[in-house]
Amino acid sequence: MSGWVYIVRCADGTLYTGATTDIQARIKVHNAGKGAKYTKGRLPVTLVYSEELPDYHAAQSREWHIKQMTKKEKEKLIQNQ
């Protein structure tokens, strides 16, 4: 089963990065206020970047690498998608 790494833009303009096996369902969970603590107070969120990977483990690894980036680097990643 493939995995996904994604970036959402929160209502306050901040970015949140996560990993999942079902990206559309995960975005719905975030917008229902049942996702990560970080996004609960920053709704709604909008999907701005996604990347499919071979499995969930690979998605988690890519998530970690993206989380090490600066906001400027993340914005560039989003633009170059």
- The residue segments making up the domain with residue 36 are 3-79
Distance of alpha carbon 72 from alpha carbon 67, whole angstroms: 12
Identify the CATH number of the domain in which residue 27 sits. 3.40.1440.10
pLDDT tens-place string over residues 20-47: 999 999 999 999 999 899 999 999 999 9
Q: At residue 49, does pLDDT exceed 90?
A: yes
d(Cα 55, Cα 13) in Å, to the nearest integer?
29
14 pLDDT above the threshold of 90: yes
* Residue 64: band (very low, low, confident or very high) from pLDDT cuts 50, 70, 90: very high
- The burial of 73, by beta-carbon neighbours within 10 Å (0-12 exposed, 13-18 middle, 19 or more buried), is given as exposed
Contact of 48 with 32, CB cutoff 8 Å: no
Q: CA–CA separation, 1 vs 37, rounded Å?
A: 26
Other CB atoms within 10 Å distance of the CB of residue 6: 23
**Domain count across the chain:** 1
